[in-house]
Amino acid sequence: MRTATSVLAALLLVLAGCSAPTAGPAAADDWQYPDDPPSDRLGWEAGYWYNESIDVNQSDGLDAAEREAFVARTMARVERVRGLEFRESVPVEVISRAEYRERAVFGGERSPEYEAWHEQVWEAPLIVGEDDAVSDEFDALYGGAVQGYYTPSGDRIVIVSDAAEPTIDRGTLAHELVHALQDQHFGFVGSRSRDRGLAHNGLTEGDARYVETLYLERCAAGADPDAAGDAEGWDCVPRPARSGGGGGQPINRGLFAYVYQPYADGPAFVHQLRERGGWAAVNAAYDRRPRSTEQTIHPERYPDEPVASVRLPDRSSGDWSRFDLDTRTERLGEAGLFAMFWYNDYVGGYRSADLPYSSYDYSAAPSDGWAGDRLVPYRSGDGDDAAYGYVWGIEFDDASEAGEFVRAYRTMLRLRVGAETVDGRANVYRVPDGPFADAFRVERTGSRVVITNAPTVEQLDTVRAPPR
């Protein structure tokens, strides 16, 4: 999936290209370049070489012949950049933004159990409060930001067009074709936590965006060889005029910061792998995918940095009990901690990262020492009368890092959420009003921090009894 938004100044990329021939592959005994080869090979797809000119004009939309040529030539170009051969063709569909929203690709009905669980997951990092529904926030986010997606179940690409006539963004098409290439060679795997899923996306989305960037650099080299360095030049058709943008409701910046992390850090992660061992090292990473966002934020920590196991034995009492969703355990990772501090204005705005191909820096002092975490929602009562809380255990590299987090978290509670200390206790807080109006207890033991949340101060001990 490829996203873009004005919130983080991510670019909406220019549209489809065509190129003049450059140096091609060596001729074989039974054919002569640039004729079609007798069998499929890198840089040639469905009758088109990667450097072959095509007659595509998107000013009035794309007809069937133009789309066929555009997709085939882009597949050949992706092969040329990525060094992998497509094993089969990839259907591409173009739909309007309105039709995309109607399809609700990332939404759908969820059970009340899931919704209640989900609300606690995003309330814990102080990103979605009790006055908003998490599902609505995600619908608004994806409804306006997604430019295209690849669906493994249908083996096809869907491009979301904001133009009056159907057009295809050449960067989006290249990006989604990389996902099809990944599926054909490596497949996709599931995960049992958001952090691990985001780390996997750091590889898959990072790979796709990295190739997309290299692709666009070649278009830039074709347009201005002096400004594009050593990139192989591809002449590309001008971008057609756009009529309108994504529109829709304002998005939650904290949620966006979280889900955007693979797109920001993933290309640098993949670039570092390629620097170590070429595309073979990137391919090998699909057999040993990153385990946490810590590894994609800090590529030097891949693959050896472990994730600490965080156990939270149930210490609830009275009507309170934990309600894990099926067998899933939730982990928000270093990216979750960073998004929390950034969204609540504790750490400064996104900085341009020092790593090549990384668009934003997700590292910050309060979150850099993350080693593992586990978030467990709790519930008391049923239905409309139910009350909710959570216990969030976070392990750090050492006691010093844990102390740094606690100081930052307590300051953020007071200055950004309006928390007040209770009865002079430095570790118990009450937020009297607003979307996060609850009670909080913050405990540190060595390198471990445990945050307990409940509707009232009196209920904190029944959600989780304090240590003896």
- Token pair of 185, please? 């060679």
Residue 345 neighbours by CB distance under 10 Å: 11
**Which residue has better confidence, 36 or 202?**
202
Given the DSSP bridges, would you call strands 92-96 and 156-161 parallel, antiparallel or unpaired?
parallel
Q: Is pLDDT above 80 for 213?
A: yes
* CA-closest candidate to residue 79, choices 120, 118, 40, 32: 40
User: Which pLDDT value is given to residue 351?
Assistant: 63
CB-based burial, 384-406: b 16+ in 10 Å, e otherwise? eeeebbbbbbbbbbeeebbbbbb
Cα–Cα distance, 242 to 249 (Å, whole number): 20
Is-contact 436 420, C-beta < 8 A? no
Question: Tens digits of per-residue pLDDT, 25-67?
Answer: 655 556 777 888 988 899 999 999 999 998 988 888 889 999 9
* CA-closest candidate to residue 84, choices 117, 43, 112: 43
User: Which pLDDT value is given to residue 38?
Assistant: 86
| pLDDT bracket for residue 239 (50, 70, 90) | low
At residue 231, what are phi and psi to the nearest 5 degrees? -65, 145
Question: Tens digits of per-residue pLDDT, 162-197?
Answer: 877 888 888 999 999 999 999 999 999 989 899 999
Question: Tens digits of per-residue pLDDT, 396-414?
Answer: 999 999 999 999 999 999 9
Q: Is pLDDT above 70 for 327?
A: no
Give the lowest-confidence range in 75-89, 321-335, 387-401. Answer: 321-335
Question: Tens digits of per-residue pLDDT, 270-293?
Answer: 999 999 999 999 999 999 999 999
The three-point CA angle 180-200-108 to 5° equals 75
Question: Tens digits of per-residue pLDDT, 445-466?
Answer: 999 999 999 999 999 999 999 8
**Which residue has better confidence, 412 or 468?**
412
Cα–Cα distance, 182 to 270 (Å, whole number): 14
Which pTM value belongs to this model? 0.90
Cα–Cα distance, 273 to 374 (Å, whole number): 29
Cα–Cα distance, 194 to 208 (Å, whole number): 20
User: Which pLDDT value is given to residue 146?
Assistant: 85
